[in-house]
Structure 1
């Protein structure tokens, strides 16, 4: 288990490089951080919160949106990565 963000990202990049889906895989940690940041702001400033399931769906939707715009030529990889992420 990584002890900090730097170690977590290093593990993520190492595992992603082995998966063969390098480009899309690199977006996942950023989607996680962005989703958590938005949830934190909603809780702190708007007194609203989402369930874990809703946060996961928000993160997956963001991932799909960013990949479609950043890597439109990798249409085959995006669903495979999404399928893997949904199972975890």
Structure 2
């Protein structure tokens, strides 16, 4: 959803190191605030998937794809609010720059 929002055509590399390298190389150098937010997206995605995986494996619970996306966006918003955003923007404004 992050890549789609930015209208990027991207083929995910096979290794995590390559994913991060290619993700960071796409950063829009013109806006430092956007750069920092864009760099946080992979961690939010991976953490959300990791939590979902553990929930399925150890608790026998499954979330639908919409809840997984919402959880990821909420985590992303929280991280942006803690690290980058200084005002009380809502979630949609926090990801609007994508």
TM-score (norm 2): 0.72
1:73 Cα offset (Å):
3.3
Q: 1:8: Cα distance to partner?
A: 1.0
DSSP 3-state at the match of 1:66: helix
RMSD: 2.4
**Between structures 1 and 2, the one with greater helix share:** 1
Equivalent residues in 2 for 1:1-88, closer than 5 Å: 1=11, 2-18=13-29, 20=31, 21-73=34-86, 79=92, 82-83=95-96
Q: Distance in 2 between matches of 1:38 and 1:82?
A: 22
SS in 1 for 2:96: helix
Q: CA deviation at 1:57?
A: 0.7
Return 5+ residue gaps in structure 1 as ranges: none
**Stretches of 4+ moved more than 4 A in 1?**
78-81
- In the alignment, the residues of structure 2 paired with residue 35 and residue 14 of structure 1 have an alpha-carbon distance, to the nearest angstrom, of 23
Structure 2 residue ranges without an equivalent (≥5): 1-10
* Total equivalences in the alignment: 84
With normalisation by structure 1, the TM-score equals 0.79
